[in-house]
Amino acid sequence: MEEDVFLSCIIPVKNGHSILPKILPALKNSCNKVQYKTEIIVVDNDSTDGTADLMKHYPVKLFSISGGVSKARNYGAKQAKGKYILFLDSDILVNENTISQICKRINNENCDGLVGLLSLEIPYSNEATIYKNLWMHYTYSVLPDFISGFYTSFACIKRSLFMESKGFNENYTYPSVEDTVLGRQFARMGAKILNAKDIQVIHLKEYSTWSVLKLDFRRSASLVKVILREKLEKIKGASVPYSFMFSVPLPFISLVAFILIFLYGLIPSIIFTVSFSLIYALNDRLLSLILKNTSYNVFFWSLWFLPLDLVFVELGIIWGLIEYLFGKKY
């Protein structure tokens, strides 16, 4: 009798010809380090760069579909044979012990699934990439050991529970908040999701200043729609710390106060000073992490970028409200 598959690794990809050769050998090597049977599933989503042909040279199960990232993940899960599913983005680089760590934590913690962290090791030197990757590391590092969230850059879940949940909402064709929505569903089902902070992977994604701003604008707009669709239900499953949420309106308050200084003097000056200072006070743990793990250049770049990022988050919230009111629910 053939041994049952314990873990199915699912990677959705679009145009991954250049990145997959960097991550697949490491994933295969990590799978080979465990006593359990594993499989690697790549779901090609309308690639035009020869990704499908390249995959013929790797020990993976390849499927090709159209319809976006959520549909690709769901399709991969349907084809999977494993008791557990590990979702990875196509730019996630594991180390040789990653899969054994996952298997060990799942067995020892008796949990339904787990999420890992992006590593502090960042293979790029530009400020935007370092800032965004440290931000993503920070947001999950401050959450408790068990969470009502899911982070599909690197997350594992019991396959039976995933299928019972109906999987990812396929209205999300591009990466957005589809993992947050699924995390909320898992929370309603009473799933036990471990925040495995000791399991960390390297993110092989390079950002620009504009791409970070655009991403945060889109995610905040999408998150507002989630809250409105679910009738203002308290947000669960989001990794955004409350300190960051509370600081979102502060750049706007600071701007208004700064303008009013020329008309009313002292009181707007005090409001401006307090509100602008609070931006940094509320995000001091993030800034401390950046200062500790990067250069002074990145730290000072982050000081001016943080208020700008908050502006784009606030604009995204407004845009999401407008779109929802005009009938665009996703």
Is there a single domain that holds both residue 128 and residue 264?
Answer: no
- Separation in Å, CA 262 to CA 266, 270, 278: 10, 13, 22
Bridge partners for 202 per DSSP = 93
Is there a single domain that holds both residue 181 and residue 96?
Answer: yes
Residue 115: the pLDDT is 96
pLDDT digits (tens, 9 = 90+) for 171-228: 998 888 999 999 989 999 999 999 999 999 999 999 999 999 999 999 999 999 998 9
List % helix, strand, coil for the chain (3-state, nearest 5).
50, 15, 30
Length of the chain: 330
Does residue 218 form part of some domain? no
Residue 234: the pLDDT is 60
Q: Is the pLDDT of residue 157 over 90?
A: yes
Quick check: helix, strand or coil at residue 278? helix
Binned at pLDDT 50, 70 and 90, residue 148 comes out as confident
Is there a single domain that holds both residue 75 and residue 119?
Answer: yes
Domain-ending residue, one of 180, 207, 234:
207
Read off the tokens for 226.
Answer: 């989630």
Q: What is the pTM of this model?
A: 0.91
Binned at pLDDT 50, 70 and 90, residue 2 comes out as very low
Is there a single domain that holds both residue 50 and residue 110?
Answer: yes
Is there a single domain that holds both residue 19 and residue 158?
Answer: yes
Does residue 21 form part of some domain? yes
Please indicate whether residue 109 or residue 237 has the higher confidence score (pLDDT).
Answer: 109
Q: How far apart are CA 63 and CA 13, in angstroms?
A: 10
Average pLDDT, the chain: 93
Is there a single domain that holds both residue 251 and residue 201?
Answer: no
Is there a single domain that holds both residue 42 and residue 142?
Answer: yes
- Vertex 8 angle, CA 5 and 11, to 5°: 160
Please indicate whether residue 92 or residue 5 has the higher confidence score (pLDDT).
Answer: 92
Read off the tokens for 199.
Answer: 């399991």
Is there a single domain that holds both residue 182 and residue 248?
Answer: no
For residue 10, the 8-state DSSP code is E
Is there a single domain that holds both residue 171 and residue 46?
Answer: yes
Read off the tokens for 91.
Answer: 């730019």
Place of tokens 């990875």: 88
Mean of pLDDT values over 62-83 = 95
Q: Is the pLDDT of residue 304 over 70?
A: yes
Q: Which domain, by its residues, includes 282?
A: 242-325
Question: What is the count of structural domains for the chain?
Answer: 2
Is there a single domain that holds both residue 129 and residue 13?
Answer: yes
Q: Is the pLDDT of residue 122 over 50?
A: yes
Does residue 235 form part of some domain? no
Does residue 214 form part of some domain? no
